[in-house]
Amino acid sequence: MIKKILIIGLLAVVGLIFFDLFNAYQGNETLSKTANYYAENGAKDVGAANLVTAIVVTYRGLDTLGEVTILFLAAAIISFALKFRKEDFIPNRPVRVTSELLDSASQVIVPIIFMVGIYIFINGHLTPGGGFQGGAVIASGVLLMIMSNPNFGVSHKVIATVESISGIAFVLIGVLGIILAGGFLDNTILPLGKLGDLFSAGVIPVIYTFVGLKVGAELSNIIGTISHAQNEKN
Amino acid sequence: MEYVIISTGFALMLLGLWGILSQKNLIKIILGFTIFDTGINIVMVSIGYVRGKAAPILDVINPAEAADKIVDPVPQALVLTSIVIGLGVTSLMLVYAMNLHREKNSLDINNFKDLKW
Amino acid sequence: MFIAIAIVLGVASLIGGYIAIHHEKLPVAIIASGLVSLFASVIFLLLAAPDVAMTEAAIGSGLTTLIFFYVLNKIRQRND
């Protein structure tokens, strides 16, 4: 009983704080100072048509590096926490037979899904989308492969190789920015090009490709580990 | 419109907090966390909204007059990273719930008394 | 026009959130929370944030829901 009263009291206090915040909010009419700077100089300095990409990869590129690290740590801890002994493993767990439709459709659709994912992260500096969305689309392709064949194991060697190569390349491009241009993750080490072209915005498409591969590998690793744990003996 | 959306975000945050505090099942508590997450993201994006402006993509907008025509791109970039981290944290919590269930054969949070004082 | 869509989406996502927290059956609750994410992605589109809408639709309502179901399946296997 006393617990319920405490919960309601806490919710009332938090609700009061939220109500205060809501009262103080009045819709914006103009941009804030930082956003104004990015809007005025973004196209000139960075050369990316999508300003969100310009901020994620260049202006706040260090945050993205930290975020990819957090995701890597989460994937590593999940693999560690789901470790089980070899003799507990059932190689061919009895599963319900996959329907003919899912089985044949997945063989046709999975390559197309991978292609859409790659398209999304290569065009990240021109259209909505980018490394994170493309990586998630690739991971959902892997998920479809696992669903159509539940005993399919995601190869750890391939994932580890892709992930480490793209992580190292991301940091190396950042360090090259210190040597050849203005600072860490500066994108002007390649020519900026014309706004709106595929080969424009310096190294942003290259960095976003590596981010997409890394995010896709990490999410596929999480999904593969959790689905692999289904084969454990109870 | 932005007032409706920002109040939806705050209401979702309160709903998620209520779920985290009042539910007994571990999976339900994690569901509360994901709803709380969604609410925070909605509030953050709506803070950056500017009335009647377009998305921050300069394909038809002339870069010289972009500052008068686009919404704030900074909160959008923040929320983009926050959603991806949210998936990692949620799956980590779910894996820990799985391991707890293996030890005690139960998902009820009242059965975990090892550190209770 | 937009304000009507915003009200409908807000009410729908709140109902979805209530079902996600209060329904007894876990699969229904998980599907309802995926639905909240889907409504949220349309809300992001109304707020002129297509990047965030894409991420939320792919990750929030796709991958998260399926990971929940995998974990639920494992827990049910152990209960039998």
- Nearest-Cα residue of chain A relative to residue C55: A133
Q: What is the 3-state secondary structure (H, E, C) of chain A?
A: CHHHHHHHHHHHHHHHHHHHHHHHCCCECCCCHHHHHHHHHHHHHCCCCEHHHHHHHHHCHHHHHHHHHHHHHHHHHHHHHCCCCHHHECCCCCCCCCCHHHHHHHHHHHHHHHHHHHHHHHCCCCCCCCHHHHHHHHHHHHHHHHHHCCCCCCCHHHHHHHHHHHHHHHHHHHHHHHHHCCCCCCCCCCCCCCCCCCCCCCCHHHHHHHHHHHHHHHHHHHHHHHHHHHHECC
Q: Which is higher by pLDDT, A180 or B79? A: B79
| Per-residue burial over C10-21, b = 16 or more CB atoms within 10 Å of its CB, e = otherwise | bebbbebbbbbb
Closest CA to C39 of C67, C4, C14: C14
> Residue B34: is its pLDDT beyond 90?
yes
Mean pLDDT calculated for residue range A180-192: 76
Query: Which residues in C lie closer than 8 A to residue A144 (C-beta atoms)?
Result: none
Answer yes or no: do C49 and B18 touch at CB < 8 A. Answer: no
What would the pLDDT profile of C5-30 be if each residue is shown by its tens digit? 989 999 999 999 999 998 888 999 99
Q: Report the residue from C13, C56, C72 with minimal CB separation from B8.
A: C13
Test mutation, C71, C72, C74, chain A, max A CBs within 10 A: C74
Closest CA to A207 of A228, A229, A230, A190: A190
B64 within some domain: no
Cα–Cα distance list, A175 to A160, A164, A178, A207 (Å) = 23, 17, 5, 12
Q: What is the pLDDT of residue A57?
A: 85
Answer yes or no: do B47 and A14 touch at CB < 8 A. Answer: no
Q: Is A114 exposed, middle or buried (0-12, 13-18, 19+ CB in 10 A)?
A: middle
> Residue A189: is its pLDDT beyond 90?
no
Q: Supply the mean pLDDT for chain B.
A: 86
Determine contact: B54 vs chain A, CB below 8 A.
Answer: no
Answer yes or no: do B58 and A195 touch at CB < 8 A. Answer: yes
Q: What is the pLDDT of residue A45?
A: 78
Size of interface A-C (CB pairs under 8 A): 47
Answer yes or no: do C70 and A219 touch at CB < 8 A. Answer: no
> Residue B37: is its pLDDT beyond 80?
yes
Determine contact: C79 vs chain A, CB below 8 A.
Answer: no
Phi-psi region of A130 (alpha: psi -120 to 50; beta: other; left: phi over 0): left
> Residue A159: is its pLDDT beyond 70?
yes
B16 within some domain: yes
Mean pLDDT calculated for residue range A3-21: 90
B65 within some domain: no
Q: What is the pLDDT of residue A25?
A: 84
Q: Is B16 exposed, middle or buried (0-12, 13-18, 19+ CB in 10 A)?
A: buried
Handedness of CA C2, C3, C7, C8 (dihedral sign): negative
Query: Which residues in C lie closer than 8 A to residue A140 (C-beta atoms)?
Result: 58, 62-63
> Residue A48: is its pLDDT beyond 90?
no
In this structure, of A5-9, A85-89, A183-187, the range with the lowest mean pLDDT score is A85-89
Query: Which residues in B lie closer than 8 A to residue A60 (C-beta atoms)?
Result: 77
Taking every pair of Cα atoms in chain B, the longest distance, rounded to a whole number of angstroms, is 64
The CATH number linked to B51 is 1.10.287.3510
Helix ranges, chain C (H): 2-22, 26-46, 50-55, 64-79
* Count of structural domains, chain B: 1
In this structure, of A216-225, B23-32, B105-114, the range with the lowest mean pLDDT score is B105-114
B74 within some domain: yes
> Residue B35: is its pLDDT beyond 90?
yes
Mean pLDDT calculated for residue range A196-224: 85
Q: What is the pLDDT of residue B31?
A: 92
Handedness of CA A101, A103, A108, A109 (dihedral sign): positive
Q: Report the residue from B12, B18, B49 with minimal CB separation from C13.
A: B12
> Residue A154: is its pLDDT beyond 90?
no
B35 within some domain: yes
Instruction: Using pLDDT thresholds of 50, 70 and 90, give the confidence band for residue A17.
Output: very high
Q: What is the pLDDT of residue A234?
A: 62
Cα separation, B89 vs C28, whole angstroms: 22
Q: Supply the mean pLDDT for chain A.
A: 84
Q: What is the pLDDT of residue A129?
A: 82
Query: Which residues in C lie closer than 8 A to residue B105 (C-beta atoms)?
Result: 78-79
> Residue C61: is its pLDDT beyond 80?
yes
Q: Tell me the shortest Cα–Cα distance from C17 to chain B, in angstroms.
A: 7
* pTM summary value: 0.89
Q: What is the pLDDT of residue B12?
A: 92
Structure tokens at A30: 């103009």
Give the position of tokens 């021109």. A126
B11 within some domain: yes
Answer yes or no: do A50 and B56 touch at CB < 8 A. Answer: yes
Domain containing B28 equals 2-56+70-111
Q: What is the pLDDT of residue A29?
A: 76
B63 within some domain: no
3-class state of residue C13 by DSSP: helix
Answer yes or no: do A128 and C67 touch at CB < 8 A. Answer: no
Determine contact: B111 vs chain C, CB below 8 A.
Answer: no
Q: Where are the domains of chain C?
A: 2-79
Amino acid identity at A130: G
Mean pLDDT calculated for residue range A159-186: 84
| Per-residue burial over B51-84, b = 16 or more CB atoms within 10 Å of its CB, e = otherwise | eebebbbbeebebeebbebbbbbbbbbbbbbbbb
What would the pLDDT profile of B39-72 be if each residue is shown by its tens digit? 999 999 988 888 878 888 887 777 777 777 888 8
Mean pLDDT calculated for residue range A172-189: 80
Alpha carbons within 13 angstroms on the beta-carbon side of residue A40 total 7
Nearby residues of A5 by Cβ (< 8 Å), 6 or more positions away: none
Answer yes or no: do C47 and B8 touch at CB < 8 A. Answer: no
Instruction: Using pLDDT thresholds of 50, 70 and 90, give the confidence band for residue B38.
Output: very high
What would the pLDDT profile of A104-127 be if each residue is shown by its tens digit? 888 899 999 999 989 988 888 888
Mean pLDDT calculated for residue range A62-80: 88
**Local structure of residue C8 (DSSP, 8 states):** H
Radius of gyration of chain B (CA): 20
In this structure, of A175-179, A182-186, C33-37, the range with the lowest mean pLDDT score is A182-186
B116 within some domain: no
Test mutation, C52, C54, C75, chain A, max A CBs within 10 A: C54
Mean pLDDT calculated for residue range B68-93: 88
The answer to whether A53 touches A208, Cβ cutoff 8 Å, is yes
Closest CA to A231 of A128, A164, A107, A146: A146
